Amino acid sequence: MDSTKRKIRVLVVDDSAVIRKLIPTLLSRDEDIEVIATAIDGDFAINKIEQMRPDVITLDVDMPRMDGITALGVIVSKHKIPVLMLSSLTTRDAALTMRALEMGAVDFICKPVGGTGKLNEMGGELVAKVKAAARSTFIQPVSVPLLPVKGKKKAAALPPNVSAGKLIAIGASSGGPNALRYILPRIPADIGAGIIVVQHMPESFTAVMAKWLDEICDIEVSEARAGDLITPGRALVAPGNSHLTVQRTALGPAVQLERGTPVNGHMPSVDVLFRSVAAQYGRLAAAVILTGMGTDGAEGIGEIRKAGGHTIAQNKETCAIFGMPRAAIERGYIQQVGSLSDIANWLVVTAGKTETSEVKDGKCN
Protein backbone atom coordinates (compact mmCIF):
# COMPACT_ATOMS: atom_id res chain seq x y z
CA MET A 1 0.00 0.00 0.00
CA ASP A 2 1.20 3.53 -0.85
CA SER A 3 -0.05 5.60 2.08
CA THR A 4 0.71 8.84 0.21
CA LYS A 5 -2.04 8.12 -2.35
CA ARG A 6 -4.87 7.10 -0.06
CA LYS A 7 -5.68 6.89 3.62
CA ILE A 8 -4.63 3.94 5.75
CA ARG A 9 -7.79 1.89 6.25
CA VAL A 10 -8.12 0.52 9.79
CA LEU A 11 -10.45 -2.08 11.28
CA VAL A 12 -10.90 -1.80 15.07
CA VAL A 13 -11.81 -5.03 16.90
CA ASP A 14 -12.78 -4.84 20.59
CA ASP A 15 -15.64 -6.10 22.73
CA SER A 16 -15.67 -2.81 24.70
CA ALA A 17 -17.99 -0.17 23.29
CA VAL A 18 -15.85 2.49 24.95
CA ILE A 19 -12.69 1.31 23.16
CA ARG A 20 -14.54 0.93 19.86
CA LYS A 21 -15.44 4.61 20.15
CA LEU A 22 -12.14 5.81 21.62
CA ILE A 23 -9.74 4.35 19.05
CA PRO A 24 -11.53 5.81 15.99
CA THR A 25 -11.64 9.17 17.78
CA LEU A 26 -7.89 9.08 18.44
CA LEU A 27 -7.05 7.91 14.93
CA SER A 28 -9.32 10.51 13.29
CA ARG A 29 -6.90 13.22 14.49
CA ASP A 30 -4.55 12.16 11.71
CA GLU A 31 -5.62 12.95 8.16
CA ASP A 32 -3.77 9.94 6.73
CA ILE A 33 -5.84 7.39 8.68
CA GLU A 34 -9.44 6.28 8.26
CA VAL A 35 -11.29 3.80 10.48
CA ILE A 36 -13.48 1.93 8.01
CA ALA A 37 -15.27 -0.36 10.49
CA THR A 38 -15.38 -1.79 14.00
CA ALA A 39 -16.18 -5.29 15.23
CA ILE A 40 -17.15 -6.63 18.65
CA ASP A 41 -15.19 -9.90 18.44
CA GLY A 42 -12.97 -12.01 16.23
CA ASP A 43 -15.84 -13.73 14.46
CA PHE A 44 -17.37 -10.46 13.26
CA ALA A 45 -13.87 -9.19 12.43
CA ILE A 46 -13.10 -12.08 10.06
CA ASN A 47 -16.30 -11.40 8.11
CA LYS A 48 -15.51 -7.69 7.84
CA ILE A 49 -11.92 -8.35 6.76
CA GLU A 50 -13.17 -10.37 3.81
CA GLN A 51 -15.65 -7.65 2.86
CA MET A 52 -13.56 -4.52 3.40
CA ARG A 53 -9.87 -5.50 3.14
CA PRO A 54 -8.37 -3.10 5.72
CA ASP A 55 -4.70 -2.13 5.63
CA VAL A 56 -4.20 -2.49 9.41
CA ILE A 57 -6.19 -4.16 12.18
CA THR A 58 -6.20 -3.26 15.88
CA LEU A 59 -7.19 -6.42 17.73
CA ASP A 60 -8.13 -6.81 21.39
CA VAL A 61 -6.39 -9.70 23.12
CA ASP A 62 -9.26 -10.74 25.39
CA MET A 63 -12.76 -11.04 23.88
CA PRO A 64 -15.72 -13.43 24.21
CA ARG A 65 -16.76 -15.84 21.46
CA MET A 66 -13.69 -15.63 19.21
CA ASP A 67 -10.81 -14.09 21.15
CA GLY A 68 -7.94 -12.08 19.70
CA ILE A 69 -5.45 -14.96 19.65
CA THR A 70 -7.82 -17.22 17.69
CA ALA A 71 -8.70 -14.41 15.28
CA LEU A 72 -5.03 -13.55 14.81
CA GLY A 73 -4.32 -17.12 13.73
CA VAL A 74 -6.86 -16.77 10.92
CA ILE A 75 -5.64 -13.32 9.90
CA VAL A 76 -1.99 -14.39 9.78
CA SER A 77 -2.59 -17.60 7.86
CA LYS A 78 -5.28 -16.40 5.48
CA HIS A 79 -5.18 -12.61 5.07
CA LYS A 80 -1.64 -11.50 5.94
CA ILE A 81 -2.75 -8.05 7.13
CA PRO A 82 -0.58 -6.22 9.73
CA VAL A 83 -2.11 -6.52 13.21
CA LEU A 84 -1.61 -4.39 16.32
CA MET A 85 -2.74 -6.14 19.49
CA LEU A 86 -4.56 -4.12 22.16
CA SER A 87 -3.64 -5.31 25.64
CA SER A 88 -4.33 -4.55 29.28
CA LEU A 89 -1.43 -4.00 31.69
CA THR A 90 -1.79 -7.39 33.36
CA THR A 91 0.52 -10.38 33.56
CA ARG A 92 -2.11 -12.57 31.91
CA ASP A 93 -2.57 -10.19 28.98
CA ALA A 94 1.21 -9.76 28.73
CA ALA A 95 1.60 -13.52 28.28
CA LEU A 96 -1.16 -13.56 25.67
CA THR A 97 0.46 -10.64 23.89
CA MET A 98 3.79 -12.48 23.74
CA ARG A 99 1.93 -15.37 22.17
CA ALA A 100 0.37 -12.97 19.64
CA LEU A 101 3.76 -11.53 18.69
CA GLU A 102 5.09 -15.06 18.32
CA MET A 103 2.20 -15.80 15.96
CA GLY A 104 2.93 -12.80 13.74
CA ALA A 105 1.36 -9.64 15.20
CA VAL A 106 3.47 -6.60 14.25
CA ASP A 107 3.26 -4.83 17.61
CA PHE A 108 0.98 -4.08 20.54
CA ILE A 109 -0.52 -1.12 22.38
CA CYS A 110 -1.57 -1.03 26.02
CA LYS A 111 -5.00 0.28 26.95
CA PRO A 112 -4.72 3.56 28.88
CA VAL A 113 -5.11 3.68 32.64
CA GLY A 114 -5.63 7.23 33.91
CA GLY A 115 -6.98 10.57 32.76
CA THR A 116 -6.97 12.66 29.61
CA GLY A 117 -3.18 12.94 29.54
CA LYS A 118 -2.85 9.17 29.25
CA LEU A 119 -5.42 9.13 26.44
CA ASN A 120 -3.50 11.77 24.50
CA GLU A 121 -0.28 9.84 25.04
CA MET A 122 -1.93 6.69 23.75
CA GLY A 123 -3.25 8.61 20.74
CA GLY A 124 0.21 9.61 19.60
CA GLU A 125 1.54 6.08 20.05
CA LEU A 126 -1.48 4.59 18.30
CA VAL A 127 -1.17 6.84 15.24
CA ALA A 128 2.58 6.20 14.97
CA LYS A 129 2.18 2.43 15.27
CA VAL A 130 -0.69 2.24 12.80
CA LYS A 131 1.40 4.13 10.25
CA ALA A 132 4.43 1.95 10.95
CA ALA A 133 2.32 -1.20 10.66
CA ALA A 134 0.96 -0.03 7.30
CA ARG A 135 4.54 0.33 6.03
CA SER A 136 5.76 -2.89 7.64
CA THR A 137 6.90 -6.00 5.88
CA PHE A 138 4.62 -8.84 6.89
CA ILE A 139 6.82 -11.37 8.69
CA GLN A 140 5.74 -14.97 9.07
CA PRO A 141 5.96 -16.32 12.63
CA VAL A 142 9.49 -17.28 13.61
CA SER A 143 9.94 -21.00 14.10
CA VAL A 144 12.40 -21.86 16.86
CA PRO A 145 12.99 -25.44 18.04
CA LEU A 146 12.37 -25.59 21.77
CA LEU A 147 15.35 -26.52 23.88
CA PRO A 148 14.97 -28.70 26.97
CA VAL A 149 14.99 -26.39 29.97
CA LYS A 150 16.55 -29.05 32.19
CA GLY A 151 19.60 -28.98 29.91
CA LYS A 152 20.19 -25.25 30.36
CA LYS A 153 23.70 -24.36 31.46
CA LYS A 154 23.93 -21.82 34.27
CA ALA A 155 26.10 -18.78 33.69
CA ALA A 156 29.32 -19.07 35.63
CA ALA A 157 29.81 -16.62 38.49
CA LEU A 158 32.88 -14.43 38.20
CA PRO A 159 35.44 -14.24 40.99
CA PRO A 160 35.81 -10.72 42.47
CA ASN A 161 37.94 -8.26 40.47
CA VAL A 162 37.93 -10.46 37.36
CA SER A 163 36.99 -8.86 34.04
CA ALA A 164 33.83 -10.18 32.39
CA GLY A 165 35.41 -9.74 28.98
CA LYS A 166 33.11 -8.71 26.17
CA LEU A 167 29.58 -7.39 26.13
CA ILE A 168 26.81 -7.75 23.55
CA ALA A 169 24.27 -4.91 23.74
CA ILE A 170 21.00 -5.28 21.81
CA GLY A 171 18.32 -2.65 21.19
CA ALA A 172 14.90 -3.30 19.66
CA SER A 173 11.37 -1.94 19.41
CA SER A 174 8.43 -2.94 17.18
CA GLY A 175 8.99 -6.50 15.96
CA GLY A 176 11.83 -6.96 18.44
CA PRO A 177 10.42 -9.82 20.51
CA ASN A 178 10.30 -12.10 17.47
CA ALA A 179 13.77 -11.01 16.38
CA LEU A 180 15.10 -11.79 19.85
CA ARG A 181 13.25 -15.09 19.77
CA TYR A 182 15.25 -15.97 16.68
CA ILE A 183 18.69 -14.71 17.75
CA LEU A 184 19.01 -15.61 21.44
CA PRO A 185 18.28 -19.38 21.12
CA ARG A 186 21.15 -19.54 18.63
CA ILE A 187 23.69 -18.21 21.13
CA PRO A 188 25.52 -20.97 23.05
CA ALA A 189 25.73 -20.94 26.84
CA ASP A 190 29.54 -20.86 26.70
CA ILE A 191 29.65 -17.63 24.68
CA GLY A 192 32.43 -15.37 25.93
CA ALA A 193 30.26 -12.31 26.53
CA GLY A 194 27.51 -10.98 28.72
CA ILE A 195 24.35 -9.80 26.97
CA ILE A 196 22.13 -6.80 27.72
CA VAL A 197 18.81 -6.23 25.94
CA VAL A 198 16.69 -3.09 25.76
CA GLN A 199 13.27 -3.77 24.23
CA HIS A 200 10.69 -0.99 24.26
CA MET A 201 7.96 -2.43 26.49
CA PRO A 202 5.90 -1.55 29.58
CA GLU A 203 7.20 -2.77 32.92
CA SER A 204 4.52 -5.44 33.30
CA PHE A 205 5.65 -7.01 30.01
CA THR A 206 9.44 -7.22 30.21
CA ALA A 207 9.52 -9.89 32.93
CA VAL A 208 7.05 -11.99 30.92
CA MET A 209 9.13 -11.56 27.76
CA ALA A 210 12.33 -12.53 29.59
CA LYS A 211 10.71 -15.74 30.87
CA TRP A 212 9.26 -16.39 27.38
CA LEU A 213 12.77 -16.17 25.93
CA ASP A 214 14.46 -18.10 28.75
CA GLU A 215 12.27 -21.13 28.10
CA ILE A 216 13.74 -21.62 24.61
CA CYS A 217 17.36 -20.52 25.17
CA ASP A 218 20.48 -22.35 26.27
CA ILE A 219 21.73 -19.12 27.82
CA GLU A 220 19.98 -17.70 30.89
CA VAL A 221 17.55 -14.87 30.19
CA SER A 222 16.06 -12.79 33.00
CA GLU A 223 14.71 -9.34 33.72
CA ALA A 224 17.52 -7.20 35.12
CA ARG A 225 17.57 -6.05 38.72
CA ALA A 226 19.70 -3.19 40.03
CA GLY A 227 23.18 -4.47 40.80
CA ASP A 228 22.93 -7.68 38.77
CA LEU A 229 26.41 -8.75 37.66
CA ILE A 230 27.03 -9.07 33.94
CA THR A 231 28.40 -12.55 33.28
CA PRO A 232 29.12 -14.55 30.12
CA GLY A 233 26.26 -16.73 28.98
CA ARG A 234 23.57 -14.64 30.65
CA ALA A 235 21.18 -12.15 29.03
CA LEU A 236 19.66 -9.37 31.14
CA VAL A 237 16.54 -7.61 29.84
CA ALA A 238 15.99 -3.99 30.89
CA PRO A 239 12.75 -3.68 32.89
CA GLY A 240 10.05 -1.41 31.51
CA ASN A 241 9.89 2.11 32.91
CA SER A 242 13.60 2.12 33.88
CA HIS A 243 16.72 3.14 32.01
CA LEU A 244 19.52 0.58 32.19
CA THR A 245 23.22 1.44 32.20
CA VAL A 246 26.33 -0.67 32.77
CA GLN A 247 28.97 0.15 35.36
CA ARG A 248 32.27 -1.39 36.46
CA THR A 249 32.12 -2.14 40.18
CA ALA A 250 34.41 -3.74 42.76
CA LEU A 251 32.58 -7.03 42.27
CA GLY A 252 32.67 -6.82 38.46
CA PRO A 253 30.57 -5.18 35.75
CA ALA A 254 26.96 -4.70 36.80
CA VAL A 255 23.73 -3.07 35.64
CA GLN A 256 22.29 0.10 37.13
CA LEU A 257 18.61 1.06 36.86
CA GLU A 258 17.20 4.56 36.97
CA ARG A 259 13.62 5.81 36.74
CA GLY A 260 14.18 9.13 35.05
CA THR A 261 12.55 10.78 32.08
CA PRO A 262 12.02 9.14 28.68
CA VAL A 263 14.78 9.56 26.09
CA ASN A 264 13.65 9.61 22.46
CA GLY A 265 10.20 8.97 23.91
CA HIS A 266 11.26 5.73 25.57
CA MET A 267 12.17 4.37 29.00
CA PRO A 268 14.14 2.14 28.80
CA SER A 269 16.02 3.83 25.98
CA VAL A 270 18.48 2.08 23.68
CA ASP A 271 20.58 5.25 23.44
CA VAL A 272 21.00 5.36 27.23
CA LEU A 273 22.26 1.76 27.27
CA PHE A 274 24.54 2.14 24.25
CA ARG A 275 26.18 5.33 25.56
CA SER A 276 27.07 3.65 28.85
CA VAL A 277 28.37 0.60 26.97
CA ALA A 278 30.59 2.84 24.84
CA ALA A 279 32.03 4.45 27.98
CA GLN A 280 32.50 1.27 30.00
CA TYR A 281 33.40 -1.35 27.38
CA GLY A 282 34.71 0.52 24.31
CA ARG A 283 36.18 -1.89 21.80
CA LEU A 284 35.13 -4.89 23.90
CA ALA A 285 31.49 -4.19 22.98
CA ALA A 286 29.36 -5.50 20.14
CA ALA A 287 26.13 -3.55 19.61
CA VAL A 288 23.11 -4.66 17.62
CA ILE A 289 20.18 -2.53 16.54
CA LEU A 290 17.11 -4.51 15.55
CA THR A 291 13.70 -3.82 14.04
CA GLY A 292 11.70 -0.87 15.37
CA MET A 293 10.22 2.49 14.51
CA GLY A 294 11.93 5.77 15.29
CA THR A 295 15.61 6.55 15.84
CA ASP A 296 16.32 5.38 19.41
CA GLY A 297 19.77 3.81 19.56
CA ALA A 298 21.19 5.44 16.43
CA GLU A 299 23.39 7.99 18.20
CA GLY A 300 24.30 5.58 20.98
CA ILE A 301 25.52 2.95 18.55
CA GLY A 302 27.53 5.70 16.89
CA GLU A 303 29.34 6.27 20.19
CA ILE A 304 30.11 2.55 20.44
CA ARG A 305 31.54 2.67 16.91
CA LYS A 306 33.72 5.70 17.81
CA ALA A 307 34.92 3.87 20.94
CA GLY A 308 36.13 0.97 18.79
CA GLY A 309 33.23 -1.42 19.39
CA HIS A 310 31.62 -3.54 16.68
CA THR A 311 28.25 -2.38 15.30
CA ILE A 312 25.57 -4.44 13.59
CA ALA A 313 22.11 -3.68 12.21
CA GLN A 314 19.26 -5.89 11.02
CA ASN A 315 18.55 -5.64 7.32
CA LYS A 316 15.36 -4.25 5.81
CA GLU A 317 14.30 -7.60 4.40
CA THR A 318 13.93 -9.24 7.82
CA CYS A 319 12.73 -6.20 9.80
CA ALA A 320 9.07 -5.82 10.66
CA ILE A 321 9.79 -2.06 10.76
CA PHE A 322 13.11 -0.74 9.43
CA GLY A 323 13.13 2.64 11.20
CA MET A 324 15.76 2.17 13.94
CA PRO A 325 18.28 0.18 11.85
CA ARG A 326 17.85 2.56 8.91
CA ALA A 327 18.56 5.61 11.10
CA ALA A 328 21.83 4.07 12.32
CA ILE A 329 22.87 2.88 8.86
CA GLU A 330 22.17 6.23 7.19
CA ARG A 331 24.33 8.01 9.78
CA GLY A 332 27.27 5.79 8.89
CA TYR A 333 27.54 4.06 12.27
CA ILE A 334 27.03 0.44 11.18
CA GLN A 335 29.78 -1.98 10.16
CA GLN A 336 27.64 -5.00 9.27
CA VAL A 337 24.06 -5.26 8.01
CA GLY A 338 22.43 -8.65 7.77
CA SER A 339 19.56 -11.02 8.43
CA LEU A 340 18.70 -12.44 11.83
CA SER A 341 20.62 -15.60 10.92
CA ASP A 342 23.67 -13.53 9.95
CA ILE A 343 23.49 -11.56 13.19
CA ALA A 344 23.36 -14.67 15.37
CA ASN A 345 26.44 -16.06 13.61
CA TRP A 346 28.33 -12.76 13.78
CA LEU A 347 27.71 -12.40 17.51
CA VAL A 348 29.07 -15.87 18.23
CA VAL A 349 32.19 -15.15 16.16
CA THR A 350 32.70 -11.65 17.61
CA ALA A 351 32.28 -12.81 21.20
CA GLY A 352 34.71 -15.64 20.56
CA LYS A 353 37.54 -13.30 19.56
CA THR A 354 40.37 -12.60 22.00
CA GLU A 355 40.52 -9.20 23.69
CA THR A 356 43.63 -8.30 21.69
CA SER A 357 42.13 -9.01 18.28
CA GLU A 358 40.84 -6.19 16.12
CA VAL A 359 37.35 -6.23 14.67
CA LYS A 360 37.44 -5.22 11.03
CA ASP A 361 34.66 -3.40 9.20
CA GLY A 362 32.22 -5.84 7.67
CA LYS A 363 30.75 -5.47 4.24
CA CYS A 364 27.20 -4.12 4.30
CA ASN A 365 24.74 -6.27 2.42
User: Contact, 127 vs 33, CB < 8 A?
Assistant: yes
Span between the terminal Cα atoms of the chain, in Å: 26
User: For position 114, what pLDDT does the model report?
Assistant: 59
How far apart, in whole angstroms, are the C-alpha atoms of residue 102 and residue 84? 13
Where in the chain are all domains bearing CATH 3.40.50.180? 161-351
> Around Cβ 336, how many Cβ atoms within 10 Å?
21
Residue type, 202: P
The reply to whether 15 belongs to the active site is no
Query: Could you give the residue ranges of the DSSP H alpha helices within the chain?
Result: 17-27, 42-52, 68-74, 91-103, 116-135, 176-183, 203-214, 270-281, 298-306, 323-330, 340-351
What CATH number does the domain located at 8-135 have? 3.40.50.2300
Q: Please name every residue paired with 197 in a beta bridge, in sequence order, or none if there are none.
A: 170, 237
The reply to whether 163 belongs to the active site is no
What CATH number does the domain located at 161-351 have? 3.40.50.180
Query: What is the phi-psi region of residue 114: left when phi exceeds 0, alpha when psi lies from -120 to 50, beta otherwise?
Result: left
SS3 at position 266:
strand
CA angle 195, 103, 327 (to 5 degrees): 50
Backbone φ and ψ for 6, nearest 5 degrees, come out as -150, 165
Where in the chain are all domains bearing CATH 3.40.50.2300? 8-135
- The single residue of 67, 242, 296, 310 carrying the catalytic annotation is 296
User: For position 137, what pLDDT does the model report?
Assistant: 66
Divide the 365 residues of the chain into consecutive groups of 10 and give the mean pLDDT of each group: 72 94 93 96 93 95 91 92 90 90 90 64 88 76 45 47 72 93 94 96 93 95 97 96 95 94 96 98 97 96 97 94 96 97 93 45 35
The reply to whether 173 belongs to the active site is yes
- The single residue of 87, 173, 242, 269 carrying the catalytic annotation is 173
- The single residue of 60, 87, 174, 200 carrying the catalytic annotation is 200
